[in-house]
Amino acid sequence: MSQTTERIHELVEKLNRYRHEYYNEDAPSVSDTVYDHLYDELAHAEKEAGIILSNSPTQTVGYKAVSSLEKVRHRIPLLSLDKTKLVSELVSFVKDHAALLMLKLDGLTVKLVYEDGKLVEGSTRGDGDEGELITHNIAAFRNVPLSIPYKGHLELSGEGFIHKSDFERLKDTLTGSDGKPYRNARNLASGSIRCLDANTCKEREVSFFAFNILEGMGEFEDMKDSRSSLLLTLIDYGFGICPFVPIPAGASAEEIEKQIQNLQELAEISDIPIDGMVLRYDGLSYSASLGRTGHHYNDGIAFKFEDDTYETVFRSIEWKTGRSGEIAPVALFDTVEIDGCEVSRASLHNLTFIKKLELHPGCRILVSKRNMIIPHVEENLDRGAYEDMVPDACPCCGQPTRIYSRLVVNVPLTEALYCDNPECGSRILQKFVHFAEKKAMNIRGLSESTLEKLMELGYLETYQDLYHLDKYREEITALEGFGEKSYENMIASINESRNTTFVRFVVAMDIPLIGRTASRILDGHFHGSLRELELAALDRFDFTCLEGIGDIMSANIQEWFRNSDHLLLWHNLQKELNFENGLDAEASGEENNMNGTNNSTFAGCTIVATGKLENFTRDGINARIISLGATPGSSVTQKTDYLICGEKAGSKLAKAQQLGVKILTEQEFLEMTAS
């Protein structure tokens, strides 16, 4: 920023403060003579630089009002960017091209157009192709240049936003068009920028930072291909620009994470509301070569801290009985589009969650896609009218329901709804669904609707019946939606599942809390022998001696094998199957393909993973640990050799530090396994 431009900003801020003291507080801190001297200096500097800021005290033009916001088409579409929550994807994005990492401001995107040095148009982003004219409000912004020394055509985009401290000061005195208080600074900024009366916008303290030049400044030969150089030039024209840092080609995860942290700290110090970061290539010609989709440009990616929320109307709850008997509540609401997908339902988890939200039909709710995948109800905007929608009977079998409380580790006591009828059709169906899932017997293409139809016809009563459906060939091929090809594909998938593993079989048996990770631990200890596992359980073997198996899991295994029906299933089903020996061959093969043979560094070690990992699910990291000849642990003890830490590591990290356990970042673990 040139000295003159910097002085203009300084004088505008100082004179506006003095005016506030004089007119609003009746406590001037400077004399009229001093004020007049500074005013004259500002007027001279504005004339010399050709820069006049929207909030300059030299401007006496009144603030306009309009009757409605006209629509305007964007000649250059203002599309969004693809999103991620993984730093690893930022690393992949950078590759061989330098980029800029900048704050993702939490406000409303605005486009400004200048002709011959004068602001001629301001508009909102809208849907990217069409926005709304807000030119009348731009003069009410804190810091937008109304006049600039650049005389060519210039279009740029940026963010209109309200500083967090201003929002805190204003939020209790303002309400939106619905008569309710603004929930956050973003909503207040959006409402203020779209006000019909610029005087109202003026009271809201809206600021503007530019982040992209859409058109113009092509005559600057030495910098026309550099996004960063052009943005920095805007500073000399009086613009505030969105804070950014350069990211070199080939930057590592550690480098990018460090810069994200630096920018977060800057935003906090500067009182700027953000909801993530934006990574965009610096080279404009390279950016242009990447093109776009119908939704976003391909030259940038947004790194999100939190998921976007969307308002819709809650209608009712659908209840579905699962294989354990727990009846899961699902929210049904008016369809809303999130990340290009239509969403109209989301899990409500349990009764405690429903009561906490105070849901009732017709209330306005906020929904999101957590991690951009799972629909979730975030908030009820119309609290205070909770309506009990809990059914007294199971929606499937009609038996009375039971409310029970449960305590999950690190989670407060919660209430859930339960069906105690073991013959409930929905419970039995969900058991078959689980049995056929990929992580269990992996019967590809066998859908829940097909299983339900086969059960209704009486063809399926036990898992064993799946392997003898050939006796119903004529009946099945005659069913609507079936035929010879569909039947052959289904039977082929079922027969392929006959070749299975210890781990898949144990998972398919659905022993409470015994999933793939625990099954792999059992596989390793009992050498892939189902007979050894059975005898150990019947002999009340203490499974807690195995790292990763806790008290409840141990009790569940013992109790499951003491049930005569379970034992009959265990023995009869094995007659239908062919087992591979040793560890889960599929998991071992996958990991060995990735890493070669077992890494001697970790062989025989006990490794615990904690926190949110970027490259692994919980089962995925445990599978990787097992493939290295190590044992995955669930808690940090003196027997723990390594702790792999992701984000929000919590108490396990503190325990590891206390015990002197070797602590690895996820990246360090990956580098050691790759070596």
Catalytic residue set: 104
Rounded Cα gap, residues 33 and 514, in angstroms: 81
What six digits make up the tokens of 637?
Answer: 């003890």
**Torsion sign across C-alpha atoms 408, 411, 412, 418:** negative
Residue 120, classed as helix, strand or coil, is strand
DSSP string, 531-549: HHHHHHHHTT--GGGSTT-
Rounded Cα gap, residues 223 and 283, in angstroms: 10
What six digits make up the tokens of 8?
Answer: 């203009």
- The single-letter DSSP state of residue 119 is E
What six digits make up the tokens of 425?
Answer: 């059709």
Residue 587, classed as helix, strand or coil, is helix
Alpha-carbon distances of 656 from 21, 313, 545, 643, rounded to whole Å: 56, 47, 20, 7
C-alpha neighbours within 13 Å on the C-beta side of residue 165: 5
SS (H, E, C) 362-394: CCEEEEEEECCCEEEEEEECCCCCCCCCCCCEC
Rounded Cα gap, residues 352 and 412, in angstroms: 10
Rounded Cα gap, residues 339 and 342, in angstroms: 8
CB 72 within 8 A of CB 133: yes
Query: Among residues 282, 291, 168, 300, which one has the least CA distance to residue 232?
Result: 282
Rounded Cα gap, residues 346 and 79, in angstroms: 28
Burial tier of 101 (Cβ tally within 10 Å: 0-12, 13-18, 19+): buried
What six digits make up the tokens of 29?
Answer: 């801190």
- The single-letter DSSP state of residue 117 is T
Where does 237-302 have alpha helices with state H? 253-270, 284-289
* Contacts for 26 with CB less than 8 Å, ≥ 6 apart: none
What six digits make up the tokens of 564?
Answer: 């005569």
H/E stretch holding 52 reads: strand 52-53
End-to-end Cα distance, the chain: 48
What six digits make up the tokens of 23?
Answer: 């007119």
- Per the listing, tokens 């709304």 go with 132
C-alpha neighbours within 13 Å on the C-beta side of residue 128: 11
Rounded Cα gap, residues 366 and 108, in angstroms: 19
- Per the listing, tokens 């727990």 go with 326
Helices 87-94 and 253-270, interaxial angle, to 10°? Answer: 110
CB 51 within 8 A of CB 12: no
* Contacts for 90 with CB less than 8 Å, ≥ 6 apart: 84, 253, 256, 279, 301, 303
- Per the listing, tokens 């001629």 go with 120
